[in-house]
C-alpha cells in the first residue's frame, strides 16, 4: 500500500480546501469549510468537518469566535481548538476597533454600529461601554464602564461625566446591551439617558447617541428622538 493511500481521507480534503482558498479566495469556500481549515490547524489528526457543521448548525460564525471557553468545550471542541478560536475572535474584534480609532465617527457610523453589534450582541450579561470622541468627533478611547447582571447594569451620570473630563472628551456615545436579545430601551434606560444628557450640558460635552444592542439589532436613541 502506498504512503498516499495510507493517509486519512480528510488530509487530502483539507489540502484541497487550502488550494481553493489560495487560488480563488475565501469567497470560494462555505462557512463550514473555512471553519474546517481553522479547526484542522488546531486538530490535525481528526476529520473536523462534522464538528464544523455541528457548531454552525447551532451558532453563527461570529458567535463561535466570541463564545466563552465553557460553551466551546461543551460543544465538543478540544482545548487546542478552543484557544485558536478565542484568539481569532479577540484579534478580529481588536482589529475592528483599532480601524475606527482616530476616525470621524459621524462619517463612519455604520462601521461603529457593526463594531458595537459584534462586541456586545452575544454577551450573556449587561455591559456599558463609553466611546469617547474629541472635539473633531474622532474616536479616541473606549471604556468598558460597567458590567452587570443578565438584566441590569447600574450607570451613574456623575461617574460618566468625571471620566469624560479625565480623558478630555468633547462628546461621547453610550452603548449597552440587552442579553435578552431585544434592543428595545427600558423605562430605566430612557430616564438614565435623560439624566446623563442634563449632566453633560453644563460642560459642553455632547451625548451623540445611546445605542442599545441586542441579537435582534441595535436601537438608536437619537433616531427615536429620545435624547431630548
Q: What angle do CA 82, 83, 84 make, to 5 degrees?
A: 90
Q: What angle do CA 109, 111, 112 make, to 5 degrees?
A: 65
Region 86-110: what's the mean pLDDT? 91
What is the pLDDT at residue 119? 92
Alpha-carbon distance of 60 to 133, in angstroms, equals: 32
Q: For the chain, what is the radius of gyration of the CA atoms?
A: 22
Residues 6+ apart with CB under 8 A from 85: 38, 64, 65, 67, 72, 77
Query: Predicted confidence band at 218 (pLDDT cuts at 50, 70, 90)?
Result: very high
What the block records as the C-alpha cell of 205 is 460635552
Residues 6+ apart with CB under 8 A from 98: none
Query: In a 3-state reduction of DSSP, which class is residue 185?
Result: coil
Q: Are 14 and 35 in contact (CB under 8 A)?
A: no
Query: Predicted confidence band at 2 (pLDDT cuts at 50, 70, 90)?
Result: very low
What is the pLDDT at residue 147? 78
Count other C-beta atoms under 10 Å from residue 146's C-beta.
17
Query: In a 3-state reduction of DSSP, which class is residue 68?
Result: coil
Query: Predicted confidence band at 106 (pLDDT cuts at 50, 70, 90)?
Result: confident
Give percent of the chain above pLDDT 70. Answer: 94
Region 50-76: what's the mean pLDDT? 94
Give percent of the chain above pLDDT 90. Answer: 78
Note the pLDDT tens digit of each residue in 136-189.
999 999 999 877 766 666 788 999 999 999 999 999 999 999 999 999 999 999
Query: Predicted confidence band at 1 (pLDDT cuts at 50, 70, 90)?
Result: very low
Half-sphere exposure of 19 toward its Cβ, with a 13 Å CA cutoff? 6
Q: Which structural domains are found in the chain, ordered by start?
A: 3-95 (no CATH), 99-224 (3.40.140.10)
pTM exceeding 0.75: yes
Residues 6+ apart with CB under 8 A from 204: 170
Is a pLDDT exceeding 60 seen at residue 190?
yes
Longest dimension (CA), the chain: 82
Amino acid at each position: 500500500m502506498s504512503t498516499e493511500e495510507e493517509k486519512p481521507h480528510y488530509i487530502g480534503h483539507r489540502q484541497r480546501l487550502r488550494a481553493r482558498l489560495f487560488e480563488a479566495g475565501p469567497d470560494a469556500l462555505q462557512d463550514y469549510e473555512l471553519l474546517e481549515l481553522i479547526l484542522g490547524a488546531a486538530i490535525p489528526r481528526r476529520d473536523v468537518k462534522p464538528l464544523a457543521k455541528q457548531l454552525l448548525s447551532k451558532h453563527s460564525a461570529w458567535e463561535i469566535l466570541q463564545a466563552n471557553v465553557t460553551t466551546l468545550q461543551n460543544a465538543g471542541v478540544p482545548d487546542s481548538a478552543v484557544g485558536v478560536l478565542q484568539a481569532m475572535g479577540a484579534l478580529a474584534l481588536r482589529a475592528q476597533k483599532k480601524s475606527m480609532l482616530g476616525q470621524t465617527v459621524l462619517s463612519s457610523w455604520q462601521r461603529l454600529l457593526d463594531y458595537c453589534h459584534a462586541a456586545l450582541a452575544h454577551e450573556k450579561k449587561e455591559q456599558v461601554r463609553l466611546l469617547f470622541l474629541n472635539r473633531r468627533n474622532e474616536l479616541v478611547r473606549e471604556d468598558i464602564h460597567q458590567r452587570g447582571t443578565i438584566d441590569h447594569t447600574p450607570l451613574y451620570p456623575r461617574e460618566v461625566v468625571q471620566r469624560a473630563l479625565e480623558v478630555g472628551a468633547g462628546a461621547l456615545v453610550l452603548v449597552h446591551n440587552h442579553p435578552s436579545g431585544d434592543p428595545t430601551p427600558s423605562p430605566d434606560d430612557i430616564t438614565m439617558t435623560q439624566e446623563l444628557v442634563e449632566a453633560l450640558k453644563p460642560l459642553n460635552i455632547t451625548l451623540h447617541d445611546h445605542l442599545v444592542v441586542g441579537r435582534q439589532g441595535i436601537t438608536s436613541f437619537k433616531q427615536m428622538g429620545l435624547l431630548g
